[in-house]
Amino acid sequence: MTTIIIAFIVVLGVLIFFHELGHFLVARLCGVGVEKFSLGFGPRLIGKTVGITDYRISAIPLGGYVKMVGDEPDAELDPELLPLSFTHKHVFKRILIVAAGPFFNLLLAVMIYTGFFVFVGTEDIRPVVRHVETGGPAAIAGLQTGDRITAIDGRPVTAWGDIDKLVAEAKGSRLHFSVVRDGEVIDFTIEPQAKVTKDILGDDLPYYDVGCSGLAPLAAIVGEVADGYPAKAMGVRKGDRIVAINDQPVDSWRTMTTLISGSKGAPLHVRLDRAGSVINVEIVPIRFSEENLLGEQVESYRIGISTPGVTIPDADRITIKRGFFQAVAESIAQTYQISRLMVLSIGKLIKGTVSTKTLGGPIMIAEMAGQQAEEGLTHLIFFIAWLSINLAVINFLPIPVLDGGHLLFFFIEAIMRRPLNTRMREMAQQAGIFILIMLMVFVFYNDISRIFSS
């Protein structure tokens, strides 16, 4: 519990600080006076006043704010403060100031990813073929297990990630692979095969595949056996190798799961290899019906075993560090992709194609922060980047009270060449507050329901 609380405060503190720092810095650049820079809401705990600005930490760590001179349109101001007034600045300066908050959240994510790509690097595997799919493009061209791919279309390859990138960029065009086999360089021409999978939102995701991998197929070896499941009841043990199901040979974990799923709950005659001894058991899979991200009921069948995990030889592991400019470019691309996914998710929530049960609030954030902290500092920092992007996207939504709502009013003002009348602004603000309160009640309900259901 202590880890969860500390991680939650750290995560929220970093996100709020950068968000409000964006408002603060751009406000000062635009000549707007700042009266308060607060991390948290409620009573002031500690702080220091510099010039006219009170830098403070407040009691409730669930937000923060920047109080600018003249940020209330109808407030009375001393004449000497008018040059520092937010309301009296040109509308485009006000747009910049308001947009700076969520923009700085995006900038924080880019900074985190850039630092990670430059100084820590990403784990990858060497471009050595460990598996060739039977009948796939690579097999047809003649690639074999153990081949080391050195170049594609003359572009050098140093890690498997380079192969994935070059295949994706080719969009199905023929590729010329240069490989080293037994010390000899051999060239192959491979035409990637178009395939379609599903992304996490259930949309079709087309991609191209050459039919080879840098990972050996996951063997059908039992890692753990769960209590209360058929496998345990029939005596299956950790380390057993499943060699056949219903007399059909099993050469990988994928083949095994396909046969179990296809059983539709019918009894399975399973042949095991246990330290060289052959054991035959009959297992009846259990049917499960679960709700996916789209709110759809998904049927599956399980016998209660798990994989021992993927083992990558140390000789195949490689850490890739980028140069600064390449890291910045990849960080921007990463931030864009997460932002895009977030926007699509919101759209699907509105349409009802994604279940509202996936929404979470402060309790869920605290739990996730605690989990990431227990995994290590790197995981926690990546979580901050991901959450910072989410915060930016949400704040850009055109809901009154949020930054996006203020931006909407200012854009209307820029087009109409006059501000919206006070009554209309007040009604919009009240509607925005009501929406946010209802949303907070709903996500708290989701969080609490999730705790009890687990």
Indicate which residues carry an active-site annotation.
Answer: 20
Rg of the chain over CA atoms, in angstroms?
28
Tokens (6 digits) for 321: 């560090």
For CA atoms 145, 150, 152, 158, the dihedral sign is: positive
**DSSP helix/strand/coil, 27:** helix
Tokens (6 digits) for 407: 């931006």
**DSSP helix/strand/coil, 213:** strand
Among the listed residues 268, 161, 257, the one whose alpha carbon sits nearest the alpha carbon of residue 218:
257
Burial of 161 (0-12, 13-18, 19+ CB in 10 A): middle
Contacts 24+ apart (CB under 8 A), 41-48: 41/65
- The residues with which 242 forms a beta bridge, in sequence order, are 272
> Which amino acid would we find at residue 44?
R
Question: Tokens 């890739």, residue?
Answer: 320
Burial of 384 (0-12, 13-18, 19+ CB in 10 A): buried
Distance set, CA 173 to CA 87, 138, 206, 345 (Å): 56, 14, 15, 32
Task: Summarize the chain as % helix, strand, coil (round to 5).
Answer: 45, 25, 30
Among the listed residues 438, 435, 434, 446, the one whose alpha carbon sits nearest the alpha carbon of residue 360:
446
> Which amino acid would we find at residue 444?
F
Alpha-carbon gap, residue 58 to 41, rounded angstroms: 5
CB 55 within 8 A of CB 118: no
Q: Which residue intervals of 43-90 are DSSP H helices? A: none
